[in-house]
């Protein structure tokens, strides 16, 4: 598996800042008398198969709680049928939740009337779909401007704003083409531009790239990373692809049977799986491409201070291995000019091999 996760600092590590989305005790149950399932501890505790048999219901989302922080890429990952789409659709009530609370910027989503919900979906949390239904007879520019047209924005302004966004997603020169004259990847860029043009606070992606071939998919992932670095917009991204989740996610919620079985950074999920299911899920991940030197470093002593190559704390173990191999000496982990630790080849190899490293008792873990 080639991950080549780029070294990037989490955009927002401050869990004290007010979240964009705050979800608490969320349930979505399909089937007759769905509301009794979360309300009845006995039904709520049943396995999916028992619940289907006893009550004829499917609990697609079961008692899920999480925050989406401002500026982060929050990935919802899980196998087919684990509840990802249902969960993300509940955020803007494209699917009506059965129980629990959802707030966006502190405002209760479940209490919103129709007009407020429309405004939420159009302006605040825009969705990028895998099948986004581009209008086949309209040009790229008009497809992108369409969302602004619905908002009643005048022709000149919407064309100007659409042209800017079309250029931003790399489609300059294709403004006058029709969807039929574009490749799958280019069409997906139009879908992305269409969501971006309304300048939403949050972008919600529902498995947008799963129909693309691997190279184009990777291009689009890089596009998302680039856009995120440029704009810092909050993103919620659904995928069933672990590699995609690890590349894009600042944090990942891993779902199974409607529950979030682990919520953490890629490094926490790969380095400290919560249970056997997660361990099995991440078994083939090349750890050195996900784990950072924080996990492998030991405290620096005085004689370490001036020696060896310098790497930032968010450098991957793979990057540090290269630095250590080139220099033939342990690397210094330098954060804002201060040496915060040292990594040597034994510690780095320990991470690759999956044996406990000095940084495994991660002092920051609890704060996340």
Ligand X SMILES: Nc1ncnc2c1ncn2[C@@H]1O[C@H](COP(=O)(O)OP(=O)(O)OP(=O)(O)O)[C@@H](O)[C@H]1O
Binding stretches for ligand X (CB under 6 A): 30, 58, 60, 78, 80-86, 240
Whether the CB-CB separation of 143 and 134 falls below 8 Å is answered with yes
Residue length of the chain: 368
**∠ CA(147), CA(152), CA(155), 5° rounding?**
80
Q: Which is nearer to ligand X, 57 or 166 (CB)?
A: 57
Q: Torsion angle, CA of 180/182/185/188, rounded to 10 degrees?
A: -60
Q: Which is nearer to ligand X, 126 or 253 (CB)?
A: 253
Q: Which is nearer to ligand X, 75 or 318 (CB)?
A: 75
In angstroms, the CA 269 to CA 35 distance is: 33
> Which residues, at least 6 apart from 312, have a Cβ–Cβ distance to it below 8 Å?
7, 333, 334, 335
Three-class secondary structure of residue 292 per DSSP: strand
Beta bridge partners of 102: 23
In angstroms, the CA 263 to CA 76 distance is: 9
Token pair 């968010």 is found at 314
Q: How far is the CB of 238 from ligand X (least distance, A)?
A: 7
Main-chain dihedrals φ then ψ at residue 269, nearest 5 degrees: -70, -40
Whether the CB-CB separation of 75 and 249 falls below 8 Å is answered with yes
Whether the CB-CB separation of 74 and 253 falls below 8 Å is answered with yes
Nearest to 367 by CA among 273, 294, 255, 264: 264
In angstroms, the CA 250 to CA 261 distance is: 17
- Dump strand ranges (E) for the chain: 21-30, 58-68, 73-78, 99-104, 107-108, 125-129, 202-206, 234-239, 251-256, 259-264, 310-311, 331-335, 338-343
């Amino acid at each position: 598996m080639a991950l080549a996760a780029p070294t990037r600092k989490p955009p927002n590590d401050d869990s004290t800042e007010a979240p964009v989305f705050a979800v608490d005790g969320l349930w979505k149950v399909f089937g007759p008398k769905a509301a009794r399932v979360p309300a009845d501890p006995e039904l709520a505790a049943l396995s999916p198969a028992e619940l289907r048999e006893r009550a004829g219901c499917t609990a697609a989302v079961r008692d899920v709680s999480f925050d989406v922080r401002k500026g982060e890429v929050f990935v919802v990952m899980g196998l087919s049928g684990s509840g990802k789409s249902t969960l993300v659709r509940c955020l803007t009530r494209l699917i009506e939740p059965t129980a629990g609370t959802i707030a966006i910027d502190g405002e209760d989503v479940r209490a919103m009337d129709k007009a407020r919900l429309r405004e939420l979906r159009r302006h605040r949390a825009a969705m990028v779909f895998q099948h986004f239904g581009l209008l086949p007879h309209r040009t790229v520019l008009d497809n992108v401007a369409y969302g602004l047209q619905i908002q009643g924005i005048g022709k000149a302004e919407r064309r100007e704003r659409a042209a800017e966004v079309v250029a931003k997603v790399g489609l300059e020169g294709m403004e006058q083409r029709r969807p039929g004259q574009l490749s799958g990847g280019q069409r997906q860029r139009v879908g992305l531009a269409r969501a971006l043009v309304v300048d939403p606070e949050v972008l919600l992606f529902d498995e947008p790239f799963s129909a693309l071939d691997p190279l184009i998919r990777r291009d689009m992932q890089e596009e998302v990373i680039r856009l995120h670095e440029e704009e810092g917009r909050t993103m919620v991204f659904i995928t069933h692809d672990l590699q995609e989740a690890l590349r894009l996610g600042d944090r990942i919620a891993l779902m199974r049977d409607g529950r979030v079985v682990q919520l953490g950074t890629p490094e926490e999920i790969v380095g400290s799986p919560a249970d056997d299911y997660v361990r099995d899920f991440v078994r083939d991940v090349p750890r050195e491409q996900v784990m950072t030197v924080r996990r492998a470093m030991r405290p620096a002593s005085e004689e370490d201070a001036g020696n060896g190559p310098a790497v930032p704390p968010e450098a991957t173990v793979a990057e540090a291995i290269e630095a250590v191999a080139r220099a033939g000496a342990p690397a210094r982990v330098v954060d804002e000019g201060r040496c915060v630790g040292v990594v040597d080849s034994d510690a780095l190899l320990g991470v690759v091999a999956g044996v406990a490293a000095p940084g495994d008792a991660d002092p920051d873990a609890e704060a996340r």
